[in-house]
Amino acid sequence: MPGESRNDIKIGLEVGIVTKKYQKSGDITEGIVQQILTKSSFHPHGIKVKLETGEIGRVKIIK
């Protein structure tokens, strides 16, 4: 399930994100959503979130 819609993402949800550092390679970092950073209801590259580990990136996978 892609993470383009803000309605699909909730705090505490396990997701896979791509951080800015790995945008070209597309490496996925998995973790738990601590904060939703994107204010709009939709973003074509994925909703930006902050994980409990402190990493920030766009959601590519919702587990």
Q: How many domains does the chain have?
A: 1
Count, residues in the chain: 63
| Interatomic CA distance for residues 51 and 56, integer angstroms | 6
- Structural domain including 45 reads 6-62
Structural domain contains residue 36: yes
DSSP state of 52: T
Report the pLDDT value the prediction gives residue 1, as an integer from 0 to 100: 58
Task: With respect to residue 1, please indicate whether it lies within any of the assigned structural domains.
Answer: no
Burial 24-37 (b: 16+ CB within 10 A, else e): eeeeebebebeebe
Summarize pLDDT for 9-52 with one digit per residue, the tens.
999 999 999 999 999 999 999 999 999 999 999 999 999 999 99
33 with 15: CB under 8 angstroms?
A: yes
Decide if 51 contacts 63 (C-beta within 8 A).
no
Per-residue pLDDT at 2: 80
